[in-house]
């Protein structure tokens, strides 16, 4: 039991130090965020998963001028789910 408590205290200390570092570097984060920065922030240090391949290409269905409007309509409709 005491071992678990000491582990939790250690994790708490680690998280507090990470939060302090994040708070200090808050103004430094620029978008888009570099992949290396995200990997550093992952507590397990895992590499990023690749982006999924799109099922369809909108360019094949709509002219480029209409894609923005189609996405806006899609977004609007899905906001009511």
Position 28 scores a pLDDT of: 64
In angstroms, the CA 16 to CA 29 distance is 19
Checking if the pLDDT of 68 tops 80, the result is: yes
Ordered by start, the domain boundaries in the chain are 2-78
Our CA angle for 55, 81, 67, nearest 5°, is 40
Which pLDDT band holds residue 73 (cuts at 50, 70, 90)? very high
Q: pLDDT of 17-57, one tens digit each? A: 888 877 776 666 566 777 667 766 777 767 777 878 888 88
Position 29 scores a pLDDT of: 59
Which pLDDT band holds residue 81 (cuts at 50, 70, 90)? confident
Contacts of 39 (CB under 8 A, 6+ apart): 45, 46, 47, 48
């Amino acid at each position: 039991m005491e071992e678990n408590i000491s582990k939790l205290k250690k994790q708490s200390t680690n998280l507090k130090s990470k939060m302090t570092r994040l708070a200090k570097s808050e103004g430094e984060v620029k978008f888009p965020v570099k992949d290396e920065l995200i990997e550093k922030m992952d507590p397990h240090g895992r590499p990023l998963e690749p982006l999924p391949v799109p099922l369809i290409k909108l360019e094949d269905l709509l002219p480029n001028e209409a894609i923005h409007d189609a996405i806006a309509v899609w977004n609007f409709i899905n906001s009511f789910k």
